[in-house]
Amino acid sequence: MPLRFFADHCISNSVIQELRDAGYEVLRLKDHIPIESPDGLVLSTAQELNSILLSLNGDFTNILVYPPSRHKGIIALQVKNHPEIIPQLMKRLLSYLSLNSEMDFYKGSLNRQKPMCLEGTLSNC
């Protein structure tokens, strides 16, 4: 199955468009649930839509609250109030996604996308 993402409310339109331009399906949170929905509902909606959650919300990196084995994958873009790094981060993310283009690869994983930590096993960053 090709990659499908569920972008939460904090993911910019430019990031969504860049993923779509690369051929990925990206569903937007606001088209499915209220923007102010609690994190648990956001993640469960991503699962119901058979999607990898794409978020800027650091809360989703807490593996005690959101155990990786219970979801189809989370990609957390960690820009820490530095939006100027998004182009670099997206270039590396798109390269990584092209090398790992099946949904099953991301199942049960947490990928923290940091600008200096996008090579190899992302979950170790």
Per-residue DSSP letters for 27-88?
EEGGGTS-TT--HHHHHHHHHHTT-EEEES-GGGG-TTTS-GGGSS-EEEE--TT-GGGHHH
Which one, of 78, 68, 8, lies nearest residue 41 by Cα? 8
Q: What percent of the chain has pLDDT over 90?
A: 62
Predicted TM-score (pTM) of this structure:
0.86
Residue position matching structure tokens 């923290």: 112
Residue position matching structure tokens 């807490």: 62
Burial status of residue 15 (CB atoms within 10 A of its CB: 0-12, 13-18, 19 or more): buried
Question: CA angle 8-83-39, nearest 5°?
Answer: 20
| pLDDT given at position 119 | 45
Res. 3: pLDDT tops 80: yes
Which one, of 40, 125, 44, 41, lies nearest residue 78 by Cα? 125
Tell me which residue range forms the domain holding 45: 4-124
User: What domain count does the chain have?
Assistant: 1
pLDDT in tens, 65-113: 999 888 999 999 877 767 788 888 899 899 999 999 999 999 999 988 7
